[in-house]
Amino acid sequence: MGWILVTGAAGFIGWRTAEFLLKEGHQVLGVDDLNDYYDPRLKKWRLGELRRWPNFRFFEVDIANLGALSVLFEAFEVEAVINLAARAGVRASLEDPWAYYRTNVEGTLNLLELMRRHGVSKMVLASTSSVYAGSPLPYREDLPVNQPLSPYAASKKGAEVLAYTYHHLYGLDISVLRYFTVFGPAGRPDMSYFRFIKWIDEGQPVIVYGDGEQARDFTYVDDIARGTILALRPLGYEIINLGGGRNPISINTLIAKIEALLGKKARVEYREFHRADMRVTWAEIDKARRLLSWAPEISLDEGLRRTVDWYLENRDWVREIRV
């Protein structure tokens, strides 16, 4: 049995996807550069969960490092690649666009080229709802997405295009998954829900950029991990939305739900809306239902309850994380 290479294995989605694969009996080869974009204690916690499994191997590797990746492809029989390594976050991409290009574009190119050289045919590539900026709602996979509003979205669009090129030229089977606002336990501390939980619990001001009526199609991480694994099936080249597929939830409503779970009142401070952000995201998920037999199973309320429970259980060290 070969190995499934999961890049970004210590990341939020990568950790949960790897864990699900391990539970199914797969051999998982995890890589992550363990960068300090956010507090590395979260990545170390996730990695500790994965290292309990005997069928998991981990290497600290940056996917932008072609030489290091080459060694892994030579040492292990890789049967598929799930590329979840990425620089994420819209606002941060304006501050250091080069880092986003290196990881999201050059890193993806390195993986595609090594797959070609070593006869690995299947990749699942993580993309983002951010590429849909300015498109009519709900977002469908056949909409033109040629005007990204941030270096982050542009780098993800670049990775999608590279993947198509390698499919066209070399017959690689690539499933591009556009994720919609993933949330859940042990998530990224730059995500709104993580910040809101921490700020409300600690009695700090809750900073909201805009009037709070901007809305997101929140999707629980377990549903995303399950859909990612389903996308390992042979599909050719397909772009598939993985989102809640429900009416988008406003930031103000999200805050109210977190207030109820914590039993505490938020002190909200509204700031100017950021020009690189999106007003609303909303996924059309008929294609995921048809090709993957996938639909989300965890509601926003249930997912938030699980997330708050994890936060409270780990509050002793999570309170030290900067958001």
The catalytic residues are: 152
User: Phi/psi of residue 32, each to 5°?
Assistant: -165, 145
Rounded Cα gap, residues 268 and 249, in angstroms: 17
Q: Which residues contact 142 (CB under 8 A, 6 or more apart)?
A: none
Rounded Cα gap, residues 247 and 215, in angstroms: 9
Contact 84, 13 (CB under 8 A): yes
What string of DSSP letters covers 271-291?
EPPPTTS-SB--B--HHHHHH
DSSP state letter for 139:
B
CA-nearest of 52, 212, 228, 242 to 123 is 228
DSSP three-state, residue 133:
coil
| Residue 32 host element (H or E) | strand 27-32
3-state helix, strand, coil in the chain (%, to 5): 45, 20, 35
